[in-house]
Structure 1
Amino acid sequence: MASKFLEHINSPADLRKLSSEELKIVAVELRKFIIDIVATKEGHLGASLGVVELTIALHYAFNTPEDLLVWDVGHQAYGHKILTGRRDIFETNRRLKGISGFPKRTESIYDTFGTGHSSTSVSAALGMAIASRLKGEVYKQHIAVIGDASIASGMAFEGLNHAGVSKANLLVILNDNAIGIDPSVGALKQYLTKAKVGHKPAQDNIIEALNFKYFGPVDGHDLEALLKVFEELKAIEGPKFLHVITTKGKGLKKAEEDQVKYHAPGKFEPDTGELLNYDTEGLPLKYQDVFGFTLVELAKQNEKIIGITPAMPTGSSLKYMMQAFPERAFDVGIAEQHAVTLSAGMATQGFIVFCAIYSTFLQRAYDQLIHDVALQDLPVVFCLDRAGLVGEDGATHHGLYDIPYLRCIPNLIIAAPSNEIQLRNLLFTAQLQLEHPLVIRYPRGRGVEAEWELPFEEMEIGRGKCLSKGSKIAILSLGKMAENVSKAISKIGEKEKIGHYDMIFVKPLDEVLLREIFSEYKNIITVEDGAVTGGFGSAVLEFASEEKFAGKIIRLGVPDEFIEQGSVAELQEIVGISVKNIRRVLNSLL
């Protein structure tokens, strides 16, 4: 059925022609539009449903895009995209050559800042506000919308600290729903909870202590209340802070009841919210669950094992250890720097710390990784989930850079298991008196082994594995690429000419095995699910140069460009590491 208002809104200017009563109908239509699309196309649901009224009120009350609006993270920005000219293409959200699942400057003038990682909105909006003042644009409003989980991050506090003495025309809106992807944690969460249940913050108001004018709490689903407070705020100069209370998943009963599952639920029935169940019987387990279950198994045997994650207990599956050993597993919130140095501190006291963190988020703690862990040679185990191409989340979430940015750090061991059994054995090996920090990178999604829960075996650090011998070409795979390589070789007519080596370790490289390969083959191909510049193939190339290898080395990996969203299969084809492309390269050499 056609909508009464939404189908005629192509920009916020169209929205502003409506009455405040008509906006309530727009809210109903926008919520239904989001539900209907995400139910069939998938994506992030709960966060955007929770800010429907807030989104409408912002674009109605403020003169966007002249007034600059920054959405923190972007999980909550679907309504924003739909109201700013992308309604008719919204079904392409997160798909190959479609619109991004996050705000993106090249996509729309209304997307003032790219926000795929959290806690950047305050700093970005403050930068815009100071720049506007320097340009004499005193009429502009600058708004950062940030969640209660994101504002607890160190970077958000850095931005608030500066903003409080800047006198900048900045409005920070706290979207407080008590949950990020998982429930919010920490002392700030407890403080905000007191504020919203009626304890009026007085002289102990942490926001006013930072020189912000504090307003709220306000019901984030009451359009009239939001519009009223926005009109008041527009007349007040300097840094302002509005505390808005919302419900994640608002308008879909099941999404309100299970906010963790409905953050990104997959496909579901739009009318009822019932998830569409897929038959997973007989399929391999997800790598993250192999990690989670194995860590619990090891923790039962070794009471010195600790688990730490920055706000991703469900995504990393550390939740299993948090349930089994709550006193030895910690969700520290969106605080990657703290997570890494906290791990280092525990390691100094003889504990074996497994820090479970997405590859893309470890980037946020690079100095801590070098200064607090590697420089002190502390045996922290970094379990890097979502390494490689991750699919529909796109450029901000692909774990493509960990090998290049880790490989140059002294003392660090870097491993990439090619299956769940290797992952399990690497975790086992890591808690056997490891003397150096270890990074274990593994991909998003399901593994390749149905029978993975085998007896533990200690792995030799820096030792690769010959999977098959050949006479003409050696193909060196890293991590999950072993599967693509094996499939490619199986479809080659002269497969006996191709040797396949699962290298497992990027650092230290298996130099004994590489010397053997250099002596037996004139053509070598390296394949990795990561940036080819400075990656695993580069490490092999460097060693080949030292050994004066005279043959040919071809490196397959992700080229020196940012890769957008699409399915993993589509993206592997684009970057040239698909089964089809590996087979093409092999045939060209044969």
Structure 2
Amino acid sequence: MTEKPATPLLDRIASPADLKGLSNAELRRVADELRAETIYSVSQTGGHFGAGLGVVEITVALHAIFDTPRDKIVWDVSHQCYPHKILTGRRDRMGTIRQKDGLSGFTKRSESPYDPFGAAHSSTSISAALGFAVARDLGGHPEHGLGDAIAVIGDGAMTGGMAFEAMNNAGHLKKRLIVILNDNEMSIAPPTGALSNYLSRLYAGEPFQELKAAAKGAVSLLPPTFQEGARRAKEMLKGMTVGGTLFEELGFSYVGPIDGHDMESLLSVLRTVHDRATGPVLIHAITKKGKGYKHAEDSPDRGHARAKFDVATGEQKKSKSNAPSYTEVFGKTLSKMADTDDKIVAITAAMPDGTGLDIVGERHPNRVFDVGIAEQHGVTFCAALAAGGMRPFCAIYSTFLQRGYDQVVHDVAIQRLPVRFMIDRAGLVGADGATHAGSFDIAYLANLPDFVVMAPSDEGELVNMLETARLIDDRPSAVRYPRGAGVGADLPETPTPIEIGKGRIVAEGSRVALLVLGPRISEAEKAATLLAAKGITPTIADARFAKPLDQEMILGLARDHEVLITIEEGAIGGFGSHVANLLAENGMFDGGLRFRSMFLPDTFIDQATPEQMYETAGLMADDIVQKVQEAMGVATLDAKRA
């Protein structure tokens, strides 16, 4: 059992107001104790880790100098907000983080007035902070007042185009706005692109020369580990307009780089900016992800996210499955396919490990492209790769693909380009909650003309669907699959393509048909066992395709059964809606068919375990049994709900 660290000074901090009277040395001690508390807390619960450790000093300094919650701190992505939560009255609830009915792992407006803006996707903070700044100047919330607006954004998030759209607008509006660029040279994976080579440019404009001194900005005064980072972009200045940096050209006064772990520097700079800034200011702070915990600092992702772990050894307490994850199956299968198909290329948006493309990259490094946190660019990049004769596999989580939807429609679908979307984390994903749930991809892709949308019922089907997608060269396609381990299905040695739009009958029955898209088929099989005990033997069908539908199979099920129920891990407007339209157009309801559709409820489901979330959604075996009995007019199964 890990022993809780002694935190005598932190114990006196009930809210940020308690930081106001502390000396610089005492604030340094608070930061040290806050780091120890964060390490202990995450060791007990699991959660995002390295990013929070990297901003401990920034968190303490901001709350000590600014008047939160009147002043608004907007954390980009906000997975680094655990220290912020501890300081803002939620310390006693940290043991519930990312659990059902517990604290969110991100900032959440309904959770605390110190969370002015919710986030869990990247690159939104500057836009939000600018909105608060304009609302302040226009008299928003006069009863409470609005103060400063501060965005804290990582260098990885700065690769997202939305951040630069916001900076461009902020520079034009010239509102007092503070942006802290938390440059740790790493988001989840190491950042890519020219921007990461540009950061740490040592330069400050004339109006803020005093700040440069206050920040100890000279390269020679930075710790050795930061000196190279500050020098690395000097050469890039030669090709730029003399007298300005990228940020200054966008209208910001640039301050830095400063050591983001040097409390004296942070306090000096932030106090000066607080007292003197009149327009937009960018403070460039160099930090280390996982700072203060060696096992995080030394890990490839610098401890981005962890299961429960032993503080002394860093060993994580993960439960292991005998079955490989869908992500692993995808990565290994695509890597093998690329061995014999030199047209295959793979693209991801800052998630090579999370999508399994790191596996592909080990064998085919020249055909895997990480575009950074830039889903819009990634999708259009894929579109042109397809137009140029390649076979692009675009691997992006369902929740993140939403950010590139205009490009999916305009650049891919309208042009009928054969981009193959590999949609990981489809369905409900657990502790990250509603922001990361893959709830909407069936609905937002299956409504696009000529789009092929597939969902495997197990990992063996996933292998065959990858080969199916590889061979689709005349239109876009998508394969959606869940987070976590498969069901232990056999993996085919040689993938077999599936006929487009063809489902399969898994079990023959009568009276009731369960038509399933995706991995809920395992719950349908459990439901069939429960129903058999009541004298009902349902047919179970694996739809495989949300689009195009297997019309012959579906209409046959409708003709041969009294009840037809669709089951999917998607939102309203998805698979069930397409099936209902097919049935209506073919007059299948005229003969008295009782049709029901089971899908995610019309609400955002808060974090819990995936099983708890699906229980909330009503997509478990008992829920299927009850739906069948309701449709048949039979007494409901009350064992679960008694």
Deviations for 1:360-389, whole angstroms, at most 9, x for unmatched residues?
Answer: 011111110000000000010000000100
Q: Go from structure 1 to structure 2 and tell me whether the alpha carbon gap of 1:18 and 1:495 turns closer, same or farther (over 3 Å shift).
A: farther
Paired residue for 2:34? 30
Distance in 2, matches of 1:131 and 1:87, equals: 31
Structure index of larger Rg: 2
- The within-5 A match list for 1:444-483 is 444-483=483-522
CA drift at 1:330:
0.1
CA drift at 1:183:
0.7
CA drift at 1:259:
4.5
Distance in 2, matches of 1:74 and 1:515, equals: 48
Q: Does 1:218 align with 2:258?
A: yes
Contact 2:290 2:302 in 1 (8 A): no
Distance in 2, matches of 1:457 and 1:519, equals: 30
Give TM-score, length-normalised by structure 1.
0.97
Query: Which one of 548, 552, 565 corresponds to residue 607 of structure 2?
Result: 565
Deviations for 1:466-505, whole angstroms, at most 9, x for unmatched residues?
Answer: 0011111101111011111112212331576210001010
Q: Does 1:538 align with 2:577?
A: yes
Give the partner amino acid of 1:510: D
Contact 1:469 1:496 in 2 (8 A): no
Paired residue for 2:268? 228
Give the partner amino acid of 1:146: I
Distance in 2, matches of 1:92 and 1:539, equals: 40
Distance in 1, matches of 2:459 and 2:438, equals: 19
Q: Go from structure 1 to structure 2 and tell me whether the alpha carbon gap of 1:295 and 1:139 turns closer, same or farther (over 3 Å shift).
A: closer
CA drift at 1:194:
5.7
SS of 1:268's partner is: coil
CA drift at 1:446:
0.6
Distance in 2, matches of 1:400 and 1:30, equals: 36
Q: Go from structure 1 to structure 2 and tell me whether the alpha carbon gap of 1:139 and 1:386 turns closer, same or farther (over 3 Å shift).
A: closer
Q: Go from structure 1 to structure 2 and tell me whether the alpha carbon gap of 1:479 and 1:332 turns closer, same or farther (over 3 Å shift).
A: same
Give the partner amino acid of 2:309: F
| Structure 1 alignment gaps of length 5 or more | none
Contact 1:421 1:454 in 2 (8 A): no
Q: Does 1:270 align with 2:311?
A: yes
Paired residue for 2:637? none
CA RMSD of aligned residues (A): 1.7
Contact 1:306 1:352 in 2 (8 A): yes
Give the partner amino acid of 1:163: A
Q: Tell me which moved more, 371-380 or 28-37.
A: 28-37
Distance in 1, matches of 2:32 and 2:305, equals: 21
Q: Go from structure 1 to structure 2 and tell me whether the alpha carbon gap of 1:278 and 1:152 turns closer, same or farther (over 3 Å shift).
A: same
Contact 1:12 1:64 in 2 (8 A): yes
Paired residue for 1:41? 45
Paired residue for 1:92? 96
CA drift at 1:543:
1.0
Give the partner amino acid of 2:154: G
Distance in 2, matches of 1:139 and 1:261, equals: 36
Q: Does 1:521 align with 2:552?
A: no
Distance in 1, matches of 2:15 and 2:584, equals: 58
SS of 2:48's partner is: coil
Give the partner amino acid of 2:315: E
Residues matched between the structures, number: 587
CA drift at 1:450:
4.7
Deviations for 1:495-540, whole angstroms, at most 9, x for unmatched residues?
Answer: 7621000101001110000111111011111111111x10111111
Contact 1:285 1:450 in 2 (8 A): no
CA drift at 1:453:
4.2
Q: Tell me which moved more, 490-499 or 293-302.
A: 490-499
Query: Which one of 287, 312, 317 corresponds to residue 246 of structure 1?
Result: 287
Paired residue for 2:323? 284
Query: Which one of 153, 156, 174 corresponds to residue 146 of structure 1?
Result: 153
Deviations for 1:166-198, whole angstroms, at most 9, x for unmatched residues?
Answer: 111101100000111111111000111565333
SS of 2:599's partner is: strand
CA drift at 1:165:
1.3
| Structure 2 alignment gaps of length 5 or more | 203-228, 635-642
Q: Go from structure 1 to structure 2 and tell me whether the alpha carbon gap of 1:258 and 1:537 turns closer, same or farther (over 3 Å shift).
A: same
Give the partner amino acid of 2:161: G
SS of 1:97's partner is: coil
- The within-5 A match list for 1:420-439 is 420-439=459-478
- The within-5 A match list for 1:83-482 is 83-135=87-139, 140-192=147-199, 195=202, 196-198=229-231, 203=243, 205-234=245-274, 235-260=276-301, 262-276=303-317, 278-280=319-321, 283-482=322-521
Contact 1:473 1:521 in 2 (8 A): yes
Give the partner amino acid of 1:571: M
Give the partner amino acid of 1:375: I
CA drift at 1:348:
0.5
Identity of aligned residues (%): 47
Q: Tell me which moved more, 548-557 or 86-95.
A: 548-557
